[in-house]
Amino acid sequence: MGLPGLADQLADLSGSDLNTLLMEVFRLQAGKEQPAALVSQLVTNRFTMPATTDPMRLRELEIQYLDSCKNAGFSLVQFGPLAPLGTCSSMAPVSQQTILPALRNTEVVSDVTNLLALLIARDVRANPDKNRVIQYATTQRQVRVQAFDRPGFSAHFSIIGMATGGWDQGNHDFEAEAFTHHVLTHYRMLKTCFADGNFRINFYWRQANDKLRLKIMEALSALADGATLDHQHEDRDYSYYPLAQFKMLVERAGQVWELADGGLVDWTQSIIPNRKHRLMISGAGLDLILHARSTNTTNE
């Protein structure tokens, strides 16, 4: 447009002024759209095209997973489709380019665990009881901008998100208990979905010391006969899960599916802010679970 620095000037506008400007721009653009052309846009735009997931089975799985989380002590919450602008990129090493922005200082939800972290931080600010553990879980349809050329992946998909927040109790007690609790909650739920599946849980020990690792593995010893536990030691920098991470995989009909993952993060330390606060997050792809259940099966 021959206007150097335009993006910087627009970014310097107040939120209300920028919103007013963009609202007018989109009003003018929408006025140029022909109703007949909307049909082709609906089915060709990967952000708007309907998913292939059976909505009835998805709702059933959502209820089943939420019920499992509730029984595990998580409080259930329902979010809207939007999050505050910068919810992911400001607290985690995530590019804002992978997130769909919206107006009124918001963005389309791309990872509900970040919203759960904000909710936990809100509760801690209201009641900083050092013995209090806060646990939330929710299901959410969310959107990712990056394209995935893989079966079962689409621009919008549903996940179950879980988060546990609490204070440093010494000896890595909170971290080990929260990490173990998330792993077991996902495993028990997924085991009901894939009774005929072979489970493998990968553990990635990054900055976690031997004491934390041993505490977690001792607590998970009950899984020895039900799942293969694979330990991965990584020296490279990995700032999303700086301490420890797990990935839960199931092999079924000769195919391996990565269905759930999670780990310890430091997000609430900068939100509250207090460096003594601890946070464990995890999630599982509900559309992917249904896709894995229906692949190469005749009884579902």
Question: What domains can you pick out in the chain, each with its CATH number?
Answer: 53-294 (3.30.930.10)
Where are any strands of DSSP class E within the chain? 75-76, 82-84, 106-108, 134-143, 156-167, 198-205, 227-233, 244-252, 255-265, 277-285
Digitized pLDDT (tens) for each residue of the chain, 300 residues in all: 888 999 899 999 988 898 899 999 989 988 898 888 889 888 888 888 888 899 999 999 999 999 999 999 999 999 999 999 999 998 888 888 888 989 888 999 999 999 999 999 999 999 999 999 999 999 999 998 776 665 546 788 999 999 999 999 999 999 999 999 999 999 999 999 998 889 999 999 888 888 999 999 988 887 767 888 888 766 555 678 999 999 999 998 889 999 999 999 999 999 999 999 999 999 999 999 999 998 765 444
Walk across the sheet containing 198-205 and list its strands. 75-76, 134-143, 156-167, 277-285, 255-265, 244-252, 198-205, 227-233
